[in-house]
């Protein structure tokens, strides 16, 4: 099933919110490699990972990505054609002023950072175009947040079983009716590029 993006007048770039867990680093690398310089969206990735390894993952992904990539910082404004990876120590959120931030609650959440927490904040606060992508992983984190995005007429994509290292989170999203589209990993970047066409490299954000 396909979905038409709802036009939302806004100066904000499109936002692609991505969640991953077990098998995620390789999946994120594949997704990023499929995007091109000039991609219109800002790509924000939440990966379940021990805090000690987040900086190393960001460095490794930056070597794979055609888009500039950095750790998401408190108070940061999203820029088109840029990728951000959630840092450790809290849950990444999108605040009401459309800037990134970190929160401690829910403190008892089994995953930190939580994909659901980030996706739900995007659903609540992002005024521009947006898409949610849920990749390989164990458990069900992200399914609820992806459904919240779909309820706001956002494009929502879950990785398919055949290309998932662990078909837990995408399966939960599919079962909940949270995904507009279920796609092989290697097709997701192309779908996002169709949704948010390339911009001129020299264009001002």
Asked if pLDDT for residue 2 goes beyond 90, the answer is: no
Whole-angstrom distance, CA of residue 74 vs CA of residue 26: 26
* Strand, coil or helix: 156: strand
Express each pLDDT in 157-200 by its tens digit: 999 999 999 999 999 999 999 999 999 999 999 999 999 988 75
**In this structure, is residue 9 part of a structural domain?**
no
Asked if pLDDT for residue 1 goes beyond 50, the answer is: no
Into how many domains does the chain fold? 1
From its phi and psi, is residue 43 left (phi > 0), alpha (psi between -120 and 50) or beta? beta
**In this structure, is residue 12 part of a structural domain?**
no
**In this structure, is residue 41 part of a structural domain?**
yes
Q: What is the CATH number of the domain that holds 185?
A: 3.40.50.180
Average pLDDT over residues 12-23: 96
**In this structure, is residue 5 part of a structural domain?**
no
**In this structure, is residue 205 part of a structural domain?**
no
pTM for this entry: 0.92
Query: Which range of residues forms the domain containing residue 100?
Result: 24-194
Whole-angstrom distance, CA of residue 31 vs CA of residue 23: 13
How high does pLDDT run on average in the chain? Answer: 92
**In this structure, is residue 15 part of a structural domain?**
no
The pLDDT confidence band at residue 8, using thresholds 50, 70 and 90, is very low
Which pLDDT score, from 0 to 100, does residue 3 have? 45
Q: Which residues are catalytic?
A: 21, 48, 141
């Amino acid at each position: 099933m396909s979905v038409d993006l709802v036009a939302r007048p806004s100066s904000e770039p499109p936002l692609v919110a991505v969640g991953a867990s077990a098998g995620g680093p390789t999946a994120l690398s594949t997704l990023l490699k499929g995007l091109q310089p000039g991609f219109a969206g800002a790509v924000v990735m939440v990966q379940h990972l021990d805090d000690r390894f987040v900086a190393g993952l960001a460095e490794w992904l930056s070597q794979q990505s055609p888009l500039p990539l950095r750790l998401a910082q408190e108070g940061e404004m999203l820029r088109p054609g840029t990728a951000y990876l959630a840092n450790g120590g809290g849950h990444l959120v999108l605040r009401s002023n459309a800037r990134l931030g970190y929160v401690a609650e829910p403190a008892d959440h089994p995953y930190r950072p939580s994909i659901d927490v980030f996706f739900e904040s995007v659903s609540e606060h992002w005024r521009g175009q947006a898409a949610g992508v849920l990749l390989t992983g164990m458990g069900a984190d992200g399914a609820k947040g992806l459904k919240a995005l779909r309820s706001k007429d956002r494009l929502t994509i879950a990785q398919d079983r055949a290309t998932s290292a662990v078909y837990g989170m995408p399966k939960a999203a599919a079962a909940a009716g949270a995904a507009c589209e279920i796609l092989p990993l290697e097709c997701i970047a192309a779908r996002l590029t169709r949704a948010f066409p390339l911009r001129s490299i020299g264009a001002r954000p």
